[in-house]
Structure 1
């Protein structure tokens, strides 16, 4: 019967662990799984959690024949009678644990950012759309001499229709502003959400509503009410 996968608790991890570089990252690894493991990562120039998660099996380097690796083989492996080395089970398990721990934390941070972005973006989309459509409505002046007899015929209202591309530009601007304001909150100064890479926005406009879809699964509907697009409930 296969063993159950152990529960990975990420609560003790600092939220900004993915911003750690060099010595700060090595200190974290040393505290988490041991200083010998941290020394190996330092030797391999694996200087951050993001780099670590893209490196594959960091123990594969110990299979190489190099005198520079002897200190690491002696501290992390068992030397066999034929002078070959076998990685100790605890060392191998510690790196498996670190990989699962950081992977789970990265997923949690990504999901948290996505949820907050979706909520904030929907509000920003509605606000930006309301402002844009309101600004595109102009009315001609009404001659005071003819108000009593020709008020209806003298009022000229010109609505400039906002195209899907203009809506998309407003949404992108709202998302960029949100990311800029929330970089410090998420502890990631490199945070970016790029259309076509991180998300895609699809907009369908008819006379009564605009539907905005994000590839994360969120769909927001804007109703056309009194010359403005206003947010309705998310679907």
Structure 2
């Protein structure tokens, strides 16, 4: 009996520990979410063309982190110069967000300096890392507006079809009523005609019954004149 009680108490103790761990995890997760939602926002400073260390210091002063996303050779930039940043300067982000930067570096053997095409690619990549460009947002908005217009057109067409169906049903009912009225009128005329015929037959029979029977002249067997 004591062994059973000990086993039960041990199991309850383990369940209690698991429950406490889950509760602590839930509280920590809720606190993290709350702090992330309540964290202040800050405007991203412009660190392009700055030295790497100066740019990192500027970001730290604003409460932001930095991450080196890529590096490339550019002839008119000193090695370690920030060539691009994402998010862009002037955007509003949460405090503690990481800013990705592209640094200039020493050229490799036989490497040509980066041109405008690579700058455009970096800008496109930066836009993509922020979740899409403004053109994409415009296209999404246009698609949503077009879908809304299509839904409205379909609704109008459905209502028009319903109205047409109701009109057709009303016309059919009206035609049915007119036909029924005609049939009723014909039946009434036939009934009236039959009634008139019966009345005429009765009148003739009554006249025949009322007509007097002519008197019979007695025979004159002798042939004498009166």
TM-score (norm 2): 0.24
Higher-Rg member (1/2): 2
TM-score (norm 1): 0.24
